[in-house]
Amino acid sequence: MQNFDKLYINGEWVAPRGSGHIDVLSASTEEVIGRIPEGTAQDADLAVRAARKAFEAWSTRPAAERAQVLQRLQQGLTARQDELARTITGELGMPLALAKPIQVGTPITVTGTYVQLLQEYSFEEQVGNSLVVREPVGVVVCITPWNYPLHQIIAKVAPALAAGCTVVLKPSEVAPLNAFMLAEIVHEAGVPAGVFNLVSGTGPIVGEALVRHPDVDMVSFTGSTRAGRRVSELASATIKRVALELGGKSASILLDDVNLKNAVKRVVSNCFLNSGQTCSAHTRMLVPRSLHEEASQLAAELAAGFTVGDPFKGEAKLGPLISDTQRARVREYILQGVREGARLVAGGPEQPEGLTKGYYVKPTVFAGVTPEMTIAQEEIFGPVLVVMPYEDEDDAIRIANSTVYGLSGGVWSNDVERAKRVARRMRTGQVDINGGRFNPLAPFGGYRQSGHGREFGRYGLEEFLEHKAMQL
């Protein structure tokens, strides 16, 4: 049981203004494993004031000194990586063997990229008779989700601090314990008072108070498209800069010259990672009509091998979903798929056998899915893969681009140049070619209703910078 009864504001652990608290539940046991303060609008205001006060000194510190602070933060994360991984597995339910390298290892790596980038990045350049300087945008509010909780925090906080901004973090109240551990690490790393602040609470109370606040210069938000619209509406009143990383319905296109068995295996693994609770998951597998039955059968066989169970025991490939609400949502999508005529070839809406506790869902595969079906258009956020036949290359691209989203995708072909030509026609922010691996220096973000703005590498750093021209 991890109990946190204070917020981290202005370099200190302070009592919240309200008396409420939020219980944190284990996704695999449904038991209370922690408790955090239910922050108020007054707490949000105090945090923003602290960040505003700290901004001038932090923003003018040399980049090399900011890099040293980030390096100490990276060292602190590394020292506590086992504890962080166990905490996130408890909150979220990702199997521990995956949580350590993905949920904790990736944030450690990303933090290190900004340590290195600050040693190389030029914050000013001469353009004709102008000196163009890049300056921090100011006070930044970071609102982060529960599915990759520490990863999404670091994806915002590390570049914001590297840029010279000060930060107020509002983590998801569903998986927040890792954020409080991060605040402890921040304190131990010697981050100056007010540069990093943590206020927990709900979106309608703390989140909206932060987004509305007149002393906030920018909001970086990751979450649902619906919530992103609300953030944009509230931020528009004060013309804040807004970066949004939202939902996705990513397509992986298998071309007709593909190694089918290998491609299907990799797509299924991508789709089911983190129990399907990944915004960039390849949840639509597009295959030539002539290969549709074979691909569907392969996917069904692979899904059957994704054992579901206790994320701590080391045997399960698939842990639970985050909550009962999310489980009910995913089950309803599965039922909707059946109602609309999709063919269920693996899984289904029933609770997996032998698991009476925990928010588990069977790994599910649908075949014969058409573009207009709900399960082909809407983000399910669970372990549900839809297999969709296409007629030719143009048809595949049309189907891939037929949703409101554009976050990620994939192309599979024995001809890499052909795959790249197809990838260029996909209206999406990231395309994995033949399973290309994650690159923490490459930009990540979406087209259309998947959001705007980019994270990681210099692209993520530049999200938190303003440009000023000095005419000489």
Q: Among candidates 332, 340, 389, 392, which has minimal Cα distance to 361?
A: 332
Kindly state the average pLDDT of the residues 424-440: 97
The answer to whether residue 1 scores a pLDDT higher than 90 is no
Same domain, 256 and 185: no
Q: What is the Cα–Cα distance from 426 to 455, expressed in whole angstroms?
A: 20
Same domain, 190 and 140: yes
Same domain, 273 and 321: yes
**Beta partners for 452?**
244
Kindly state the average pLDDT of the residues 204-210: 97
Same domain, 274 and 372: yes
Question: Sign of torsion, CA 72 69 459 129?
Answer: negative
Q: Is residue 237 part of a domain?
A: yes
Predicted pLDDT at 128: 97
Q: Is residue 306 part of a domain?
A: yes
**Amino acid in position 13:** W
The DSSP call for residue 102 is I
Same domain, 220 and 368: no
DSSP, collapsed to helix, strand or coil, labels residue 323 as coil
**What tens digit of pLDDT does each residue of 18-31 get?**
999 999 999 999 99
pTM summary value? 0.96
Same domain, 199 and 58: yes
Predicted pLDDT at 135: 98
Q: Is residue 222 part of a domain?
A: yes
271 is catalytic: no
**What tens digit of pLDDT does each residue of 235-263 get?**
999 999 999 999 999 999 999 999 999 99
Kindly state the average pLDDT of the residues 373-388: 98
Q: Is residue 76 part of a domain?
A: yes
Same domain, 166 and 20: yes
Tell me the CATH number at 175. Answer: 3.40.605.10
Q: Kindly report the average pLDDT of the chain as a whole number.
A: 97
Tell me the CATH number at 293. Answer: 3.40.309.10
Predicted pLDDT at 67: 98
Kindly state the average pLDDT of the residues 418-433: 98
Kindly state the average pLDDT of the residues 158-170: 98
Q: Among candidates 220, 141, 231, which has minimal Cα distance to 444?
A: 220
Catalytic residue (choose from 142, 165, 271, 279): 279
Q: Is residue 293 part of a domain?
A: yes
Catalytic residue (choose from 38, 173, 245, 379): 245
- 120: containing domain: 2-246+449-471
Q: Among candidates 81, 86, 94, which has minimal Cα distance to 28?
A: 94
Kindly state the average pLDDT of the residues 144-149: 97
Same domain, 176 and 255: no
Same domain, 92 and 237: yes
The answer to whether residue 220 scores a pLDDT higher than 90 is yes
Same domain, 340 and 460: no
Same domain, 258 and 228: no
279 is catalytic: yes
Cα–Cα distances in angstroms (integers) from residue 178 to residues 34, 129, 202, in the given order: 11, 48, 16
Same domain, 309 and 385: yes
Q: Is residue 185 part of a domain?
A: yes
Predicted pLDDT at 314: 83
Q: What percent of the chain is predicted at pLDDT more than 70?
A: 100
> What is the count of structural domains for the chain?
2
Kindly state the average pLDDT of the residues 346-365: 94
Predicted pLDDT at 315: 85
Q: Is residue 444 part of a domain?
A: no
Q: What is the Cα–Cα distance from 121 to 460, expressed in whole angstroms?
A: 12
